[in-house]
Amino acid sequence: MAKKKNKGPAYVCASCGATHPRWVGRCGTCGEWNSVEEAAPAPSVASRERSGGTSKARPLGEVDMEDAERLPTGIGELDRALGGGPVRGGVVLLGGDPGIGKSTLLMQALAALCRSGSSALYVTGEESASQVALRARRLDAPGALDVAILATTELQDAEAALMAEEPAVAVIDSIQTLRDSDLGNAPGSVTQLRSVAGRLIDLAKRRRIALFLIGHVTKEGAIAGPKVLEHLVDTVLSFEGDATHAFRIVRATKNRFGPAQEIGVFEMEGAGLREVPDPSALFLAERPEAAAGSVVAPTAEASRPMLVELQALVAPAAYGAPRRVVTGLDGSRLAILLAVLERRARHRVLDRDVF
């Protein structure tokens, strides 16, 4: 009888999660170089069949709705983006550029929850406990000093703290820094992210913990790691903003418990992030009256209407091909608008620079 060949190791792309039968220098799916690494072998089908579960199906009418209780943070703009606040047992993935204010926002949210009587745990793998405490004191947010803190990069330590403390809300900062010591891969790799995220999400749902995962982003603005990470969580928040401006926007790109594409607006100050309940007034505060090349336009983000200022400058194309420089708008839409102006309104714009 012929012996079965042992399956060799699988290789996974750290950029897109594609699986390859052998190591290659360039991923054939996404085209990234040096992103393919060895993954831990998956358990066999026989072992999965032997490990029977204890969960049983039940009718939807018997499910207790209190298991999906919301915990409003008291920060109106964050609660708006979440659809009313985090949900017990729900997992939120928050991504954004370095220094945009992700840790500050969630520290303020934990402080507000502690002030209202909820327990909170902050697990940091990027800073020491003293650094987090220093930031909490700088924010001067009532309740911030009641937040439990754990500085570790070990998944097992984070799991033990979650089970021992049993907080209502917990933050993992960041998911890419935690590592499962049972795996040999480096922190942040595809294998590690799948294992760490899967175990934390399972624990949060079993213990009814509202869990926030802070994630790094790539240079293209996407959350670093395999796309499956965004599929595993219940809500994905994108923290957007320009480093040269104080405005920040939290946008829900996925939400199982509320409307997607809802936004919350903040302004970064010395003492942390301040809510902006009326973005229109803030966006138009410095606009001069009767300014040439400036117009106020109504727009809407999800269910939120607002007024924004549009500025434009048209100049002769001095260097051959006309330039199109756009910030905050789709370049293709600008091209359509210019074509309509040229064709229908008889304005000569296609051979000019537009900024």
What pLDDT digit, counting tens, does each position of 215-241 carry?
Answer: 887 766 677 666 778 888 999 999 988
- Clarify whether residues 23 and 155 are in a common domain: no
Q: How far apart are CA 16 and CA 275, in angstroms?
A: 35
pLDDT digits (tens, 9 = 90+) for 261-294: 899 999 888 888 999 888 888 778 777 777 888 8
Q: Is residue 90 part of a domain?
A: yes
- Clarify whether residues 111 and 249 are in a common domain: yes
- Clarify whether residues 240 and 95 are in a common domain: yes
pLDDT digits (tens, 9 = 90+) for 64-107: 776 678 899 989 999 999 999 999 999 999 998 888 889 999 99
Residue range of the domain that includes 306: 294-354
Task: Answer yes or no: are the C-beta atoms of 84 and 255 closer than 8 Å.
Answer: no
pLDDT digits (tens, 9 = 90+) for 250-262: 999 999 988 888 9
Q: Is residue 253 part of a domain?
A: yes
Q: Is residue 58 part of a domain?
A: no
- Clarify whether residues 327 and 252 are in a common domain: no
pLDDT at site 3? 47
- The two beta strands, 247-255 and 235-241, are antiparallel
Torsion from C-alpha of 261, 199, 123, 269, nearest 10 degrees: -10
Picking from 116, 127, 125, 133, the residue whose alpha carbon sits closest to that of residue 155 is: 125
- Clarify whether residues 272 and 314 are in a common domain: no
Q: How far apart are CA 264 and CA 354, in angstroms?
A: 31
- Clarify whether residues 257 and 301 are in a common domain: no
CATH number of 157's domain: 3.40.50.300
- Clarify whether residues 205 and 131 are in a common domain: yes
- Clarify whether residues 221 and 88 are in a common domain: yes
Domains: count for the chain: 3
SS3 of 128, please? coil
Q: Is residue 97 part of a domain?
A: yes
Picking from 166, 179, 178, the residue whose alpha carbon sits closest to that of residue 210 is: 166
Q: Which two tokens stand for residue 152?
A: 């570790």
Interval 179-195 mean pLDDT: 83
Q: Is residue 320 part of a domain?
A: yes
What confidence tier does 47 reach under pLDDT thresholds 50, 70, 90? Answer: very low
pLDDT digits (tens, 9 = 90+) for 332-347: 998 899 999 889 988 8
Q: Is residue 57 part of a domain?
A: no
* DSSP3 helix / strand / coil % (the chain, rounded to 5): 30, 25, 45
- Clarify whether residues 199 and 157 are in a common domain: yes
Q: Is residue 349 part of a domain?
A: yes
pTM, 2 dp: 0.79
Task: Answer yes or no: are the C-beta atoms of 121 and 109 closer than 8 Å.
Answer: no
- Clarify whether residues 252 and 221 are in a common domain: yes
Q: Is residue 110 part of a domain?
A: yes
Task: Answer yes or no: are the C-beta atoms of 128 and 151 closer than 8 Å.
Answer: yes
**Side-chain half-sphere CA neighbours of 273 within 13 A:** 28
Residue-averaged pLDDT of the chain: 85
- Clarify whether residues 267 and 341 are in a common domain: no
pLDDT at site 128? 92
pLDDT digits (tens, 9 = 90+) for 236-255: 999 988 767 788 999 999 99
Instruction: Phi first, then psi: give them for residue 104, nearest 5 degrees.
Output: -65, -45
- Clarify whether residues 77 and 32 are in a common domain: no
